[in-house]
Amino acid sequence: MVAVQHRDQTRYDVDANLDELARLVETAGADPVARVLQQRDSPDRATYVGKGKVMEIKTVSEALDADTVVFDNDLTPAQQGNLEEILKRSALDRTAVILDIFAQNASSPEGRAQVELAQLRYRLPRLRRSGRTFSQQAGGIGTRGPGETQLEVDRRR
């Protein structure tokens, strides 16, 4: 689990947030195994935490054989993608964990539908290329593109 302590937060507040996140992670069915904290005035645009801290997180997660790294702070789609690429692991934020808990516990058809809609709205901006190459569809009279774009395939899932 990773948290960033901003200037206006005390260490006690950050520890309390991490304790709560640990309980959420346990409720979601995972075991929190480590905590990493960084003091920072503003988030890094690319990875939320600094480059050195990303490498520390990578080292710790590899040593503990962690499948997922959970961030207490909300990640932008770009930050999440960059972190997953560097860490070679899934990177989730608090919102994703909470949505997963709701999905596990939704019992009525309406509740399941609402949770699925919330998850899709959360995931939509996070759709990105996953290494497979699809060409853009060509336009114009008499021309046809050779296939679907990656975004169209991801949206169908």
CATH classification at residue 16: 3.40.50.11060
Confirm whether 124 is domain-assigned.
no
3-state secondary structure of 154: helix
Tell me which of 72 and 135 has the higher pLDDT.
Answer: 72
- Mean pLDDT along residues 118-124: 90
Structure tokens belonging to residue 134: 């699809």
Query: Is residue 23 situated within a structural domain?
Result: yes
**6-50 pLDDT per residue, tens:** 989 999 999 999 999 999 999 999 999 999 999 999 999 999 999
Give how many domains the chain has, as a whole number: 1
Q: Is it the case that residue 104 has pLDDT exceeding 60?
A: yes
Residue 30, both tokens: 């995972």
Interacting residues of 140 by C-beta distance below 8 A, sequence separation 6+: none
Spatial contact of 38 and 9, defined as CB atoms under 8 Å apart: no
Q: How far, in Å, CA of 101 to CA of 149, rounded?
A: 32
Query: CA end-to-end span of the chain, whole Å?
Result: 28
19 lies in which domain range?
Answer: 2-94
- Identify the pLDDT of residue 98: 94
Is residue 111 a part of any domain in this protein?
Answer: no
Question: In this structure, is residue 110 part of a structural domain?
Answer: no
Among 9, 66, 12, 10, smallest CA distance to 34 is for 66
* pLDDT value of residue 154: 57
Please give the pLDDT value at position 142. 43
